[in-house]
Amino acid sequence: MMNETSKPLNFIEKIIAEDLESGKITQVKTRFPPEPNGYLHIGHAKSIVLNFGLAKRFGGSCNLRFDDTNPEKEDVEYVASIKEDVRWLGFQWHGDVRFTSGYFDQLHEWAIYLIKEGKAYVCDLSQEEAREYRGTLTEAGKNSPYRERSIDENLQLFEKMRLGEFDEGACSLRVKIDMAHPNMQMRDPVIYRIKKQAHHQTGDKWCIYPSYDFAHGQGDAIEGITHSICTLEFEEHRPLYDWFIENLPVPSTPHQYEFSRLNVNYTVTSKRKLKQLVDENHVDGWDDPRMPTISGMRRRGFTPQAIREFCDMAGVTRTDGVVDVSMLEFAIREDLNANAVRAMCVLRPLKVVLTNYPEDKTETMMAPGHPQRDDLGTRALPFSREIFIDQDDFREAANKKYKRLVIGKRVRLRNAYVIEADEAIKNEQGKIIEVHARVIEDTVGKNPADGIKPKGVIHWVSADMHVDCEVRLYDRLFTEEAPDAGGKDFLESINPDSLEIVTGCKGEVTLANARLTDHFQFEREGYFILDSSYSEPDQPVFNRTIGLRDSWNNNPALK
């Protein structure tokens, strides 16, 4: 039964609703089937949200199945990261985690079944020869000279393959379909190859491994999947998917549906290219906050709610396109603006001495945790004679458009007094190292009695009581909208300013209690989160998730 919601149905949801209404199916079963050969990225997030979302909306179930048919590139590290990503996004798979490798015995039996039916044969063509025999998009292929081997010979050769009696590449098992078929996928595809490689789940049990196309649909059938959801590049594989379902004694008959994959500008999502970024140390691992991986976005401070909302905004269609990354940035800003606790952090500190404030006096200023959220409580901020403000918030002289601290002018300290600057103290090189200013009495929460109002509001922290921290300012990893378009070297588009590490920052005292799950809006600076990899209790590191507004188009270095 469909869970009621006001959200309109996408084309896959309409198909499912019709299948349920007609009685074609009684319960929806979907699956998310990643290959564990890398970390998941934003494109996978859309597939996760879709498959698990379909199950939730229609009261069904969704399996997590690792399509682990290529041990050469797979690793248990990727298995663990994928499970963590799915949970973090807010989903729980049905039953135990499943592995295609758990079906290897059954797939092997079905391969023998095809041989006995005269529909599969062992082929000795090399990969290069097989490509030549396969033909082209405009020319039919040619039958392999080994296509008419007897059933008994094929059974014997396939058993020798299983026993490891042949070298890798010496032969393969193919199915007999049609070497003149207009769809290249149907020209006697390989269903088993020799790979003398230990598997992360089955160890050394096998030295032959099924192809993705042979394993995928049969895994769906074994699990009773009703709607097998794939991206559009698998559309040409669907006839082969159906051929296996029709020609094997499978326990159920799933159907494959394709939707457009999530392509985001200023991003690459090829696992090969993401791995290259990691292996060549262009980034700080798979979870680098600049990476489009789910783990990277998590470390940067993106929320699962924002990612789910972005995937919903991107939509489910059958037309490929490119989604503007600003849509993702909008989603995270909207979420954090509503939910992030406010705090003050001075990134480039400049000391201000309040000359008329007693040296031995300390006050506690109260500030809201969030201006529109009473449930987020209040913050207690110590206030003393010496404070830090940001270097950009002071000038000796400025025009009327400058709304911060200027000699002879007033400004309000956020949640505290109005102050007026009197003097700038400089070192021998003429650099301003300190500002002397005065507190305007009785101005906490009030305008000055003399009627001279402050020009603006700036943030600050106590020089005596604060948290020393490091801040990492992240921006987009690439400067071009399509870093790898037209076969160009995507590495040439890496943004040299994608990371700025700012040390010596001064945060308000409440940040000493920050947890890895806490999100903050550093007032006037952006949204931040503790870095899960580098933070130490006495020197926390905060990552900027996103700025308060989109400044990308205003950055002349990137135009």
CATH code: domain of residue 440? 2.40.240.10
The 10 Å Cβ neighbour count of residue 1 is: 9
Tell me if 323 is assigned to some domain: yes
Res 559 pLDDT > 50: no
Those residues whose C-beta lies under 8 Å from the C-beta of residue 413, and which sit 6 or more positions away, are 387, 389, 419, 457, 458, 459, 460
318 with 361, same domain: the answer is no
Residue at a domain's end among 403, 433, 459: 459
Please pick, among 119, 147, 261, 438, the residue that the annotation labels catalytic: 261
pLDDT of residue 2: 59
508 with 546, same domain: the answer is yes
- The identity of residue 508, as a single letter, is E
In 182-324, which residue ranges form alpha helices assigned H by DSSP?
A: 212-223, 238-247, 271-279, 294-300, 304-314
CA distances from 505 to 55, 57, 150, 348, 502 (A): 47, 46, 76, 6, 7
Residue at a domain's end among 459, 489, 511: 459
pLDDT of residue 552: 52
475 with 377, same domain: the answer is no
pLDDT of residue 555: 43
487 pLDDT band, cuts 50/70/90, is confident
H/E element holding 162?
helix 151-162
Res 319 pLDDT > 80: yes
Query: Of 262, 264, 268, whose CA–CA distance to 325 is shortest?
Result: 264
The three-state secondary structure class of 164 is coil
Tell me if 6 is assigned to some domain: no
Verify whether residue 35 is a known catalytic residue.
yes
The better pLDDT of the pair 321, 147 is held by 147
**Size (the chain), residues:** 559
pLDDT, tens only, 492-527: 999 999 999 999 999 999 999 999 999 999 999 999
Res 185 pLDDT > 70: yes
211, 69 in Cβ contact below 8 A? Answer: yes
CATH code: domain of residue 197? 3.40.50.620
Res 556 pLDDT > 80: no
Number of domain units in the chain: 3
Burial code of 411-420, b = ≥16 C-beta within 10 A, e = fewer? Answer: bbbebbbbbb
Beta strands per DSSP E along 308-440: 322-323, 341-343, 345-346, 349-354, 363-368, 378-383, 386-390, 394-395, 405-406, 410-413, 418-426, 432-440
Verify whether residue 165 is a known catalytic residue.
no
Residue at a domain's end among 459, 486, 504: 459
The average pLDDT across 201-209 equals: 97
325 with 421, same domain: the answer is no
Res 554 pLDDT > 90: no
pTM, rounded to two decimals: 0.92
Please pick, among 35, 153, 386, 480, the residue that the annotation labels catalytic: 35
331 with 252, same domain: the answer is no
93, 62 in Cβ contact below 8 A? Answer: yes
Tell me which residue range forms the domain holding 380.
Answer: 349-459
Please pick, among 162, 193, 271, 308, the residue that the annotation labels catalytic: 271
Query: Of 238, 255, 263, whose CA–CA distance to 12 is shortest?
Result: 255
Verify whether residue 359 is a known catalytic residue.
no
Tokens 């005065």 sit on residue: 438
